[in-house]
């Protein structure tokens, strides 16, 4: 039968072997967005499939319209064990600008920062090959010590960094095979180097572009300024009316479905002593904006927003040109939480814009996509079990956090396979993912593998 203690001991005894295997994977130039590296991506998929087969999984690199998706399956030692689907991606971002790298991005190395503190350097170390291999190594340790405590399916895609275009079709075609009790995702961060974190909430997203049209052509401001409506003025008024003096969004029913934080979670977040001044100071700001009734951390993790991401119209080249533009444009994004309905938000927004239009103006709308928020209840059984497992490994309870951004893959799995996700990652904010000199903490890699061993045991027992 599976033995947690033996699996943990095996992980500790084979740390160099685990690092060597990660380095082998990091050497593949699996840049999914550049067609020049198509063969490298395929070779990385084949390496994973071969590696997993050697471990005792039934694995294959499946063809798609784009890059291969690796699927591997292994049964638990106990027939009635739960079934988990672990998701990761083996593709990486381009390395440009190459001259800013201190080491060869595809020649991974270990850098000692100070005694007892080392970092793994290389493209993909943190996103997502290092994270992916923490789970693989946990499975390896169990396979050698009585078998897996859970039935495990692995799904590693090769297009996450280029839009996951092949994934929805693949999931729809293989839904029955991939269906599990819970999805595990290791593409998120810790709170800090010593404090684990479980991401329980992901904000949703709605994107909309607006064009306000007036005259048939640009007009001379000396001849038409005053009597002719200026669409930039109209658009400015639309934008100004979207938030009130307290920082709240004014769209009708905007906050429908927005939950208040449980008091114990709000207290936990307050105890993190998030430094708002340092957070803003790092980007040259000093005064918090947004909803005045909520801290900066609460705004980022648990509150909805409405932002203007771009605005243009008329003459924008150097110098001046005295025109009244015929059109004005803006792009908007809405970060959504709880049970906010993206389509209802967009309909409310469009109705609001139309209500602001004076005579002689019309509005056109272009949607750029939307997805709802994802919430796993803080008190869910999976989170409670994972919390106990992480506390046993790290010596402190994990932060139950939310993500200010969105992870589209989690929404895709929820929509296609009707599965909730347990999001536990071991990255750090300073891992420089997508940038030169990407790194992954050696402690994240080693204790991450031990953490997954504990989580699998907790989910099974």
Query: What would the mean pLDDT of 411-437 be, rounded to a whole number?
Result: 93
* DSSP codes of every residue in 53-85: HHHT-EEEEE--SSS-EEEEEE-BSSTT--EEE
Is the confidence at residue 53, as pLDDT, over 90?
yes
Is the confidence at residue 38, as pLDDT, over 80?
yes
pLDDT at 292: 95
Assign 214 a pLDDT band (cuts: 50, 70, 90): very high
Give the domain ranges of the chain: 4-202+374-460, 205-258+304-371
Q: Of the candidates 276, 294, 272, which has an alpha carbon nearest to the alpha carbon of residue 285?
A: 276
pLDDT at 376: 83
Q: What is the pLDDT of residues 233-277, one digit of tens each?
A: 999 999 999 999 999 999 999 999 999 999 999 999 999 989 999
Q: What is the pLDDT of residues 172-202, one digit of tens each?
A: 999 999 999 999 999 999 999 999 999 999 9
The single-letter DSSP state of residue 31 is B
Domain 205-258+304-371 top-level CATH class: alpha beta
The single-letter DSSP state of residue 28 is S
pLDDT at 379: 86
Assign 375 a pLDDT band (cuts: 50, 70, 90): confident
pLDDT at 118: 98
Give the angle 252-253-259 at the CA atoms, nearest 5°.
145
Assign 109 a pLDDT band (cuts: 50, 70, 90): very high
Is the confidence at residue 206, as pLDDT, over 80?
yes
Please enumerate in sequence order all residues whose Cβ is within 8 A of that of 296, keeping only pairs 6 or more positions apart, or say none. 274, 276, 279, 280, 288, 290
| pTM score | 0.88
Distance of alpha carbon 279 from alpha carbon 191, whole angstroms: 14
Share of the chain above pLDDT 70, in %: 100
Same fold? 4-202+374-460, 205-258+304-371: no
25 with 120: CB under 8 angstroms? no
Is the confidence at residue 141, as pLDDT, over 90?
yes
Assign 65 a pLDDT band (cuts: 50, 70, 90): very high
Assign 300 a pLDDT band (cuts: 50, 70, 90): very high
* DSSP codes of every residue in 160-228: GGGT-TTHHHHHHHTHHHH--SEEEE--SB-SBTTB-EEEEEE-EEEEEEEEEE-SSS-EEHHHHBTTB
In this structure, which topology does domain 4-202+374-460 adopt according to CATH? Aminopeptidase (3.40.630)
Category of 209 on φ-ψ map: left (φ > 0), alpha (ψ -120 to 50) or beta? beta
Is the confidence at residue 280, as pLDDT, over 80?
yes
pLDDT at 403: 86
pLDDT at 377: 83
pLDDT at 77: 93
Q: Which string of b and e fits 262-286 if b means at least 16 CB within 10 Å?
A: eeebbebbeeeebeeeeeeeeeeee
């Amino acid at each position: 039968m599976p033995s947690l203690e033996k699996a943990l001991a095996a992980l500790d005894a084979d740390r160099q072997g685990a690092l060597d295997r990660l380095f082998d994977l990091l050497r593949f130039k699996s840049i999914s967005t550049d067609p020049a590296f198509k063969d490298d991506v395929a070779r990385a998929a084949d390496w994973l499939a071969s590696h997993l087969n050697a471990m005792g999984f039934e694995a294959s690199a499946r063809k798609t319209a784009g890059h291969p998706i690796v699927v591997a399956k292994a049964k638990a030692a106990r027939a009635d064990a739960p079934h988990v689907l672990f998701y990761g991606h083996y593709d990486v971002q381009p390395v440009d600008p190459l001259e800013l790298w201190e080491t060869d991005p595809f020649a991974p190395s270990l850098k000692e920062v100070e005694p007892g503190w080392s970092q793994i350097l290389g493209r993909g170390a943190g996103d997502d090959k290092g994270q992916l291999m923490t789970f693989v190594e946990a499975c390896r340790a169990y396979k050698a010590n009585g078998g897996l405590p859970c039935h495990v399916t692995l799904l590693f895609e090769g297009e996450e960094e280029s839009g996951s275009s092949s994934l929805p079709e693949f999931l729809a075609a293989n839904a029955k095979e991939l269906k599990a009790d819970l999805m595990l995702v290791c593409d998120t961060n810790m709170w800090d180097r010593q404090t684990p974190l479980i991401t329980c909430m992901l904000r949703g997203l709605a994107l909309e572009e607006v064009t306000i049209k007036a005259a048939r052509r640009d007009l001379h401001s000396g001849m038409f300024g005053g009597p002719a409506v200026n669409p930039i003025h109209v658009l400015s008024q639309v934008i100004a009316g979207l938030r009130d003096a307290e920082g709240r969004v004014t769209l009708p029913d905007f906050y429908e479905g927005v939950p208040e934080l449980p008091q114990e979670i709000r207290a936990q977040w307050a105890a993190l002593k998030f430094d708002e001044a340092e957070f803003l100071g790092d980007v040259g700001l000093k005064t918090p904006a947004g909803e005045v009734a909520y801290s900066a951390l609460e705004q980022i993790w648990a509150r909805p927003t409405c932002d203007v991401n771009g605005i243009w119209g008329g003459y924008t080249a150097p110098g001046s040109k005295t025109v009244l533009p015929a059109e004005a444009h803006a792009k908007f994004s809405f970060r959504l939480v709880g049970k906010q309905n993206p389509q209802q938000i967009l309909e409310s927004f469009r109705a609001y814009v139309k209500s602001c239009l004076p005579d002689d103006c019309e509005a056109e709308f272009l949607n750029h996509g939307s997805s709802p928020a994802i919430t796993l209840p803080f008190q869910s059984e999976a989170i409670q079990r994972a919390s106990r497992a992480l506390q046993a490994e790290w010596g402190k309870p994990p932060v139950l956090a939310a993500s200010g951004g969105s992870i589209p893959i989690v929404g895709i799995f929820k929509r296609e396979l009707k599965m909730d996700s347990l999001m536990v990652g071991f990255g750090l904010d300073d891992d420089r993912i997508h940038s030169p000199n990407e790194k992954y903490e050696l402690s994240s890699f080693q204790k991450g593998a031990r953490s997954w061993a504990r989580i699998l045991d907790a989910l099974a027992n």
